[in-house]
Chains A and B, each alone.
Chain A
Amino acid sequence: MALFGSKRDAKFLAAINSELINSIIDTEILFYKLIVEQSNSNLYGESEQKTYYDSILIPCIITKETKTANMDDYGHTYTRTAQFGLSRDLLENAEIYPEVGDIVFWDNEYYEIDNVDANQYFVGKNPDTWPNGDNYGYSVSVLCDAHATKQTPQNITNIRRGGNNQSPAFTKGI
């Protein structure tokens, strides 16, 4: 039986995290969840027209890297990566889990998530997997590595196209 890192301590950490993310740092991203079923892929597994749910605001801690300029035959462009640290506790309450392919809008740039990792544990224990029960440990975060992407190809901004131009509303549990 562990002496430290009990559920009481985990709640204390959750409270600190909640205050820090929501009230002190208070940076929010627009999160677009990909609708896989409506994003048809071609022969190569590529989807030219992806569909997303309506965006939701999620507070998180953002690490935005500097952009790297790229000049080639097609003109000037740039690349940029960013890391979005989300409170796992908050995501759990919102019943949402970010996945590869989801889009994040932050600071006038769109980022496509490349990798999702939940590997930051308080006192080294994940209460969901610790064999001695869920009364110890705390899974702190879900980290999303993403890269800046172009806007229009992602079918996020309202572009002129036929049919219903409205995205489906975001619901919990996706």
Chain B
Amino acid sequence: MDYSVQKPIWPGSSSFQPGDTPFGFFDTDVMFQQHADKFAKLAAQTMGYPIMDVELQDINFYTAFEAAIVEYSNQVNQVNIVNNLVNTLGIKTESAFLTDSSFTGALVGNSFGYITKLSKAYGTEADSGGTIPWKTLKIDVIPGQQTYNLITEISRSLGLVLSSGSIEVKRVLHNAPPAIVRYFDPFVGTGLGSQQLLDAFDFGGFSPSVSFMMMPINADLFRLQSIEFNDQIRKSQYSFEIHGDDIKLWPVPVQPTGSTSATPYFKNVFIEFIITEDKDNQSVLFGNTALLNDVVSDASNIPYTYQSYSNINDMGRAWIFKYGTALAKEMLGFVRGKYSSVPIPNGEVTLNGSDLISQGQTEKGELITQLREFLDKLTKENMMTRQNAESTQMHEMLSKVPLKIYVG
């Protein structure tokens, strides 16, 4: 048997063909095709060829080359994702404005979409908007009955069957009548009994424009306060308590006896509430986008693809060459390390497999660390910090420039 045929060593040259790499991510890239063979030569000669045989073949070098570009793209895209994920959440991954369905190579602008959605969640809690619809319950007050079960009233009033503790009361519209209804308008110069007349015709809240007396506004405030204070001291208060699903109303509802009764009459109490399940769902759905299909929801599906090798600059390629060579070195170490010792005539020899693996892994780790440290400086956060420092420093420098003094 002729063992010299197809010996697994680097022959000294190669000719790349598309399909020679495991994944073929860059096989159609003309620049990649040109550089694949050059990289193979570089890596082989770095490892001692032609002084020493290198027990690797062209496809091994192509694999290392492809893997190095993939690693470089991965590192760059990690920083891209850190920079841009917050601006792209909820965007359809197949949006028409994307080139090749990818953000790779695109300058991604800022968006307040995420912040707006986040603020809606605050708005829900702060009663200033939000995404949760409020529902309104009307309780028909029964004379003599102070306590009402909210779940029962919702079922009766709105037809919603809810379980205990499933609502969150946002507002109870149960207040004393405004003082204005019993206000004697000082501007109206037609007599003090006119307000009651207007009340009778449901115009109590309006001030008829007849003739006016000039009065200071604090006089009105004092008068209104005195009416409200009178009600608080001398009458039953409008109040409520909520315990569990029950609401207890004050004052005790009475039969309608007219507005002159010492105990005020009220027929209905309105309660605004939200269903807690709605809030929970909204917080998860985050504006009905995050869990929809085909939208950016996290780092796993933000559409960043591998960089185009042709578009990577020389600095990036230099890193790729170094990392690829380290990979090839590790690969050669695995080959030479398969058998701890190799038999030779009348003896055996130990190859440097473990040294190569160790060196390759160390070099890879150092290159990754170096690239990460560099890329970390390029996050938006760090760039703004640096710009701020530059601006501050510039301001300090300019402050030391002597100011011109005008000499006439």
Q: Which residues of A contact B (CB under 8 A)?
A: 7-21, 23, 60-61, 63, 83, 85-89, 92-93, 120, 122, 127, 134, 138, 140-143
Partner pick for B344 among A8, A11, A61, A93, CB 8 A cutoff: A61
Q: Is the CB of B342 within 8 A of A13?
A: yes
Q: Is the CB of A19 within 8 A of B52?
A: yes
Contact with A along B45-72 (1 / 0, CB 8 A): 0000000110100000000000000000
Q: B293: shortest Cβ distance to chain A, in Å?
A: 46
In angstroms, Cα B222 to Cα A135, docked, is 110
Q: Which residues of B contact A (CB under 8 A)?
A: 1-9, 52-53, 55, 335, 338-339, 342-347, 349, 351
Residues of B within 8 A of A18 (CB): 4, 7
Residues of B within 8 A of A89 (CB): 3-4
Residues of A within 8 A of B345 (CB): 17, 21, 60-61, 85-88, 120, 140-143
Known: A11-B7, A120-B345, A141-B345. A93 touches B2 (CB 8 A): yes
In angstroms, Cα B344 to Cα A60, docked, is 10
Q: Is the CB of A85 within 8 A of B347?
A: yes
In angstroms, Cα B6 to Cα A10, docked, is 11
Residues of B within 8 A of A60 (CB): 345
User: B335: nearest residue on chain A (CB-CB)?
Assistant: A12
Q: B47: shortest Cβ distance to chain A, in Å?
A: 13
User: A8: nearest residue on chain B (CB-CB)?
Assistant: B8
Residues of B within 8 A of A63 (CB): 346
Q: Is the CB of B344 within 8 A of A17?
A: yes
Q: Is the CB of A12 within 8 A of B55?
A: yes
Q: B279: shortest Cβ distance to chain A, in Å?
A: 61
Q: Is the CB of B53 within 8 A of A15?
A: yes
Q: Is the CB of B3 within 8 A of A16?
A: no
Residues of A within 8 A of B2 (CB): 92-93
Q: Is the CB of B343 within 8 A of A14?
A: no
In angstroms, Cα B344 to Cα A142, docked, is 10
Residues of A within 8 A of B53 (CB): 15-16, 19, 23
Partner pick for A122 among B55, B343, B347, B349, CB 8 A cutoff: B343
User: B6: nearest residue on chain A (CB-CB)?
Assistant: A11
User: A63: nearest residue on chain B (CB-CB)?
Assistant: B346
Q: A120-B343, A141-B345 are in contact. List 6 more A-B contacts (CB 8 A).
A: A15-B3, A15-B55, A61-B345, A86-B345, A89-B4, A142-B345
Q: Is the CB of B9 within 8 A of A15?
A: yes
Q: Is the CB of B7 within 8 A of A85?
A: no
Known: A11-B8, A12-B55. A134 touches B347 (CB 8 A): no
Residues of B within 8 A of A85 (CB): 344-347
Contact sample, A vs B, 5 pairs, CB 8 Å cutoff: A11-B6, A61-B346, A88-B345, A92-B2, A143-B346
In angstroms, Cα B349 to Cα A13, docked, is 11
Q: Is the CB of A16 within 8 A of B346?
A: no
Q: B123: shortest Cβ distance to chain A, in Å?
A: 66
Q: B200: shortest Cβ distance to chain A, in Å?
A: 106
Q: Is the CB of A140 within 8 A of B9?
A: no
Residues of B within 8 A of A15 (CB): 3, 7-9, 53, 55
Q: Is the CB of B55 within 8 A of A93?
A: no
Partner pick for A13 among B4, B5, B343, CB 8 A cutoff: B343
Partner pick for A16 among B4, B5, B342, CB 8 A cutoff: B342
Residues of A within 8 A of B338 (CB): 9
Residues of A within 8 A of B9 (CB): 15, 19
In angstroms, Cα B335 to Cα A85, docked, is 25
Q: Is the CB of A14 within 8 A of B346?
A: no
Partner pick for B347 among A7, A12, A61, CB 8 A cutoff: A61
Residues of A within 8 A of B342 (CB): 13, 16-17
Known: A122-B343, A140-B343. A20 touches B349 (CB 8 A): yes
Residues of B within 8 A of A10 (CB): 3
Q: Is the CB of A141 within 8 A of B346?
A: yes
Q: Is the CB of B4 within 8 A of A93?
A: yes
Known: A16-B351, A93-B2. A83 touches B7 (CB 8 A): no
Residues of B within 8 A of A61 (CB): 344-347
User: B2: nearest residue on chain A (CB-CB)?
Assistant: A93
User: A121: nearest residue on chain B (CB-CB)?
Assistant: B343
Residues of A within 8 A of B347 (CB): 61, 85
Residues of B within 8 A of A12 (CB): 7-8, 55, 335
